[in-house]
Amino acid sequence: MIFQHTIDAVMNGTKTQTCRKCVLCRYQVGKTYAAQPGRGKMAVCRIRVTSVQVLRGKGINWTLEGFNYRSEFDSVMAKMHGDDWMEQHFFVIGFEKVIDAAFGVKTG
């Protein structure tokens, strides 16, 4: 899973949710996935999906997305999904960072 704008928040545990445009959600609760800072970049840790739900953009909890300010979240979402992102539907994926010896990652 790519976290181009928020990989630091994934690593420090302040980001526990991510949203992806509704098309087809391939992420499954209970499975683990590599977390990458960008497309084609090495994974920095693994995350385990804890929940998947569908929400409109305006219903997404920006603090769980790892942002300190609503305005930061709004700006990133508009850049990634267009100015009408609040009316679009997203898969909202809850997750936790997990220990993975391959990456030498330890959680909180």
Residue 23 confidence class, pLDDT cut points 50, 70, 90 = confident
CATH of 7-98, one of 3.40.1380.20, 3.10.20.600, 3.10.400.10, 3.40.50.2000: 3.10.400.10
Both tokens assigned to 74: 């709004």
**Is the pLDDT score of 85 beyond 90?**
yes
The more confidently predicted of residues 24 and 92 is: 92
Q: Does the pLDDT value for residue 105 go beyond 80?
A: no
Cβ-based burial of 35 (10 A; exposed 0-12, middle 13-18, buried ≥19): buried
Check residue 108 and give its pLDDT.
43
Which of residues 23 and 55 earns the better pLDDT score?
Answer: 55
pLDDT above 90 covers a percentage of the chain that reads: 82
pLDDT of residue 75: 96
For the chain, the first-to-last Cα distance in angstroms comes to 21
DSSP state of 81: H
Task: Please tell me the distance from the alpha carbon of residue 3 to that of residue 62, in angstroms, as a whole number.
Answer: 15
Q: What is the mean pLDDT of the chain?
A: 90
Query: How confident is the model at residue 104, as a pLDDT?
Result: 53
34 pLDDT more than 90: yes
